[in-house]
Structure 1
Amino acid sequence: MVIKFLGSGCAKCKQLEANAQQAVKELGIDATIEKVKKFRTLRNTA
């Protein structure tokens, strides 16, 4: 499973990444977490 989240790298984005990593760890899910920070990628995803 790949979990992607979009963000600019602000404090809230960093907290979201940490929360996602913790949830994956606690639930024992086999997942990769990817953060997308490039504006062009963000725009194309929306």
Structure 2
Amino acid sequence: MSSMIVEVLGTGCKKCQQLEANAREAIANLNLEAEVLHITDPMKIAERGVMKTPALVINGQLASQGKVPTPEQIQPLLAVD
């Protein structure tokens, strides 16, 4: 089983950093193996079709944008097989 890839898309603002922290906490809570990447390049973010940051992408699927979900809100998004 390959580990999942969780990407935080945002330019590094406080909300982006909070989203990354929440995503890492959600991953830890579920004892998952995941690679967490932080994409800060505005061009790469725009290429994904993301209009509002911060955005959360799980295995290439946009899970949320323009808000900072809590670890509890992120956990069900990670529970994919």
Tell me the number of residue pairs that the alignment of Structure 1 and Structure 2 aligns.
Answer: 46
Unmatched runs of 5 consecutive residues or more in structure 1: none
Greater strand percent: which structure?
2
- Give the RMSD, CA atoms, in angstroms: 0.7
Regions of 4+ moved over 2 Å: none
Candidates 18, 21, 25, aligned match of 2:21: 18
Unmatched runs of 5 consecutive residues or more in structure 2: 50-81
Cα deviation, 1:3-29, whole Å, max 9, x if unaligned, reads 112111100000000011111111101
Quick one: percent identity of the two aligned structures?
Answer: 35
**Which structure has more RCO (C-alpha within 8 Å, separation ≥ 6)?**
1
> Which residue does 2:60 correspond to in 1?
none
TM-score if structure 1 supplies the norm length? 0.90
